[in-house]
Amino acid sequence: EPEVTQTPSHQVTQMGQEVILRCVPISNHLYFYWYRQILGQKVEFLVSFYNNEISEKSEIFDDQFSVERPDGSNFTLKIRSTKLEDSAMYFCASTEAGTRNTGELFFGEGSRLTVL
Amino acid sequence: AQKVTQAQTEISVVEKEDVTLDCVYETRDTTYYLFWYKQPPSGELVFLIRRNSFDEQNEISGRYSWNFQKSTSSFNFTITASQVVDSAVYFCALSEAWFGNEKLTFGTGTRLTIIP
């Protein structure tokens, strides 16, 4: 069964360092997302991406964050200068494009980021 | 603005008991989708169900059932004959139903513990 894969599963970094989280969405999906879950809290939308551009972003997604689809398979989230409060689990997700009958959002297993 | 409320922070029941997880939502959209996700201790998000706003039929899948009541803006989830493997955090979520956008608004989750 096709799945969304994320690397790394866990990354520890020093405050102020740049971090790149990688995701490989399901191959025929065209919409991509990043969500964040601070430990013990709810899952929060960060950004959606379609046709090589951001389609929507939340207030959390400030100038420190960026997303990119550098090739036909990867979808990355970059945090330019990490802060302690960026420590969280980051989930990538993808879905098929096409109709108003929106379906399941396929989540990856998450990348846990710890900022020291 | 959309909002999802899961008032039950934690629930513990003895194995084989039935348990209902509550979800109340707010939205101005007339067309929307409701979801339940399970997050086991391993951390991934497991899709359980999607329901659109025009389909108020209750659904049953094995030991799981869902009760969608548009009049009270609720989408409750019942597990019958609970098992230890059901122990997890359960999230209710809501999305607008427009072209391909799966921006989900999650509730804060209910931690369910099944006591053997």
Can you give the pLDDT of all 116 residues of chain B as single tens digits?
789 999 999 999 999 999 999 999 999 988 888 999 999 988 889 889 888 888 888 888 899 999 999 999 999 999 999 999 999 999 999 987 665 556 889 999 999 999 99
For residue A19, the model assigns a pLDDT of: 98
Alpha carbon distance B20, B82 (integer Å): 10
CA–CA gap between residue A65 and residue B104 (Å, rounded): 19
Give the end-to-end CA distance of chain B in Å, rounded to a whole number.
41
Q: What is residue B12's three-state secondary structure? A: strand
In this prediction, residues A79-96 reach a mean pLDDT of: 94
Q: Is B13 on the interface with A (CB under 8 A)?
A: no
CA pair distance B82, B18, nearest whole angstrom = 6
Chosen from A42, A99, A106, A113 to mutate, greatest number of chain B CBs within 10 A: A42
pLDDT in tens, A70-84: 887 899 999 999 999
Assess whether the previous peptide bond of A70 is cis (omega < 30° from 0). Answer: no
- Name the token pair of A112: 């846990």
pLDDT (0 to 100) of residue A67: 97
B91 vs A contacts (CB less than 8 Å): 42-43
pLDDT, position A95: 85
